[in-house]
Amino acid sequence: MSSGKIYFAWVDDAEVFSVATHAREDEEVFALTISHGEGEFATASVEIRNPGIGLLAPGRKRRAFISCELTAGASPTLLFAGSLTAFPVGLVGQESVAIECVSRPFDDRGALLALFGSLNGLVSTASLPQSGILAGAKLNLGFTQLASADVVDPLWIENTHYRVDFAAGILTVIEIPVGWTPANLAVSISRPRRPQFEPLLLPEDYDPADPAVALAAIPLVVHWPRVGGSPTLSHIFAGSGFTTLTASDVWNVSVEVTEPPVTQIDVELDVGWSQRVATQFDAAPKIFAAANGGVPTTTISTITQDDLESAWTGAVSGSSSGYSVKYAALRKVGTTVSSAATVSALDYPSGDPEVDYIRSPDWPATPDVPRNRQISYEVGVFTGQMQIEANYEQPRREVVSFSVTAGIQPLFVASGSSAKREKLALKANSYIDAELETSQLVEYQSPDGETTWKTSVRQRAAASACFAGGGLSTLGLNLVQNAMQRARAKLAAAARAIAVSFECTFEAAAALTLSSSVRLSGIPGLGTCRGKVTQLTLSADADGQRTAKVTIGVAIGTGVQASLTGWQTAGATSWQNETADGPAGLSSSVMSYVGTKTPESGVYPWRPVDAAALVADPDDFCITNVTVTNALGSQNTGLALTSDPEAYLRDHPISISIALKNIEPQSGEILLEADLPSLVAGLPLGINLARTA
């Protein structure tokens, strides 16, 4: 079969390929090599007749379409679209020169940002026929929204019995196992997608257009079409197209182990955060109750009214750090009379303005006769507020560890090489605090109603960032799943440990792209294998010689899908318990506290502040005791027993003492370590190593 012509057309940037318009020879092509590697821009090295003019001269077109007739007389097929990248290379005066073109979009960064933004797309399934399906059948999955970016991780749905073309939404049945029905597949495909992008685990200065960042948690690669257009995402195991080649279609087949595969990823998730509570509470109700013998009331009464003023403002002076009085005020709302004191009339003559004389029943009409007298004092009745602000801030750190093992077949590699185990260390960035924070605007008002103020209360009161209610918290599950997904993506890339290269016809290779999947069948010494194209080279010359070389990456997984049943809630129970001596209910092999104070005989000498309780009921949590000394009841009792009430009241002024719980943070950070169960990542079976001999 003879080869047809090669066409080269210089075009404007916005032109779209058309056979009628662009099947022309603006340059005479002597030789052509198109090379395309996975995740890279395709390049075209072209030897053309020396045009004798400057190809980079101002005003000249620099974008080119390269097409060819795959067979003589056939309609031309576009092979490459790209732009001239450099000055032509060759000897001056020679018949030909070499030029280099690259298929790179003018705004490749913008294209990547748009592409990665589509990763949040949704995927759904339609009903599939439940019977009458034969091997080789192609079923439309009926995706309501589907693009190459909207990929349900094939680590969950990859199967040796079927293959999904994500770009077209087509399921191809390879073989039908016993008991298999499309309903099984529908359930598998409709599983929720795992977290693919977690900003809290990214560097704060990350580049959103960096594929290493955007695709860190999902085994996809960017595919830059060699014929131009927007980039797409291709799974490393399953491309958007599928081609089967047999022994008669390929030659010079070679197999290479790319490198010893990583068999286990040890994940260490480091979450550093600051537990913080800033709240206010009114201590006045507890003071009023303490002054009233423990019975709740709304006022406080005293004979020594001036002493109450000073006692009120100084009640929390010298308290533990973390507290401050934001507002303290009293308002007199009434008066009463104290109990009577029996005194000598000589010591307390009539007319003393400081006392209120009350005559006894036997009081004589003649006032100059020395007799005992009964006197009483004015009692002030007050209400008020004592707004105390509590500020607690404790550095905390949680290190969650687990391992993900690759479900791969044993692979014997060259002497001196061995399977590898890698560590994946991930650290949450500073935005973790904002993620844990709740905020509310609280308005306070003074007792007289004349003063109001508002305080924005921002809380990070959770007992843990990663754990809650006997398992992983919502945030913890997101972080751990993203870390797990990253580990699985690494194992997936490593599982594609075999590269199979072969030569084939130019026509067959021209139909492939770097997002195509190839199945090789009946290859002597290799058997059957399948993988995605990772390298493609097309070569042609003016004499009609055309060659093509293709490399596919083949996975050595077992094809067994792993189960994570019960994993999400493993490894944690309620551990923030104010009444316990340590992290209650947790096995030391699962989770433990590590701090500046170490356990003694299994008992923790310190307990973390229960910040949630502090937020929920701050006055009950913070106030451990209120003592009102020489309250009105005590003063009345003393007056009844003294003969010198002035001295008694001077020596027994009312005083208030508020004991507050210590909320001073521990020196250094509180470290919580947790070990989650190990996982096995199910990986696709691209080749059965036991059948390749």
Is residue 435 helix, strand or coil?
helix
Q: Same structural domain for residues 52 and 138?
A: no
| Pair of tokens at residue 642 | 């003294």
User: Domain for residue 213, yes or no?
Assistant: yes
Q: Same structural domain for residues 137 and 232?
A: yes
Residue 92: which domain range? 6-104
The reported pLDDT for the residue numbered 40 is 96
Contact 406, 263 (CB under 8 A): yes
Q: Same structural domain for residues 355 and 298?
A: yes
Average pLDDT, the chain: 77
Is residue 605 helix, strand or coil?
coil
Q: Same structural domain for residues 213 and 305?
A: no
Tell which residue, 571, 568, 574, 504, has the closest CA to residue 538.
504
Give the strands of the sheet with 162-165, arranged side by side. 138-140, 170-173, 162-165
Name the domain boundary from 79, 104, 129: 104
- Strand 378-407 and strand 670-675: the pairing is parallel
Cα torsion for 194, 199, 200, 204, to the nearest 10°?
160
Interior angle at CA 645, CA 642 and CA 647, nearest 5: 105
The reported pLDDT for the residue numbered 28 is 92
Task: Tell me which H or E stretch contains 640.
Answer: helix 632-641
User: Domain for residue 38, yes or no?
Assistant: yes
Q: Same structural domain for residues 145 and 10?
A: no
The reported pLDDT for the residue numbered 161 is 59
pLDDT in tens, 377-404: 899 999 998 989 898 988 888 888 888 8
User: Domain for residue 647, yes or no?
Assistant: yes
Q: Same structural domain for residues 548 and 631?
A: no
CA distance 246 to 622: 78
Task: Tell me which H or E stretch contains 534.
Answer: strand 527-541
Residues of the chain with confidence (pLDDT) below 70: 1-2, 89-93, 118-133, 140-172, 174-195, 317-320, 344-372, 412-419, 439-458, 469-470, 561-608, 691-693
Q: Same structural domain for residues 100 and 121?
A: no
Give one word for 136, left, alpha or beta, with left for phi > 0 and alpha for psi -120 to 50: left
HSE at residue 509, side-chain half, CA atoms within 13 A, is 26
Q: Same structural domain for residues 18 and 138?
A: no
Q: Same structural domain for residues 130 and 180?
A: yes
Q: Same structural domain for residues 29 and 152?
A: no
Q: Same structural domain for residues 22 and 151?
A: no
The reported pLDDT for the residue numbered 193 is 38
Q: Same structural domain for residues 33 and 52?
A: yes
Handedness of CA 54, 60, 66, 67 (dihedral sign): negative
User: Domain for residue 473, yes or no?
Assistant: no
User: Domain for residue 154, yes or no?
Assistant: yes
* CATH code, 32: 2.60.40
Residue partners of 205: CB distance under 8 A and separation at least 6: none
Tell which residue, 455, 342, 321, has the closest CA to residue 391.
321
How many residues are given for the chain? 693
User: Domain for residue 75, yes or no?
Assistant: yes
User: Where do the DSSP E strands lie in 428-515?
Assistant: 438-445, 452-459, 467-468, 471-472, 498-504
Is residue 3 helix, strand or coil?
coil
pLDDT in tens, 103-115: 999 889 888 888 8
User: Domain for residue 127, yes or no?
Assistant: yes
User: Domain for residue 416, yes or no?
Assistant: no
Distance of CA 656 to the CA centre of its chain: 49
Domain count, the chain: 3
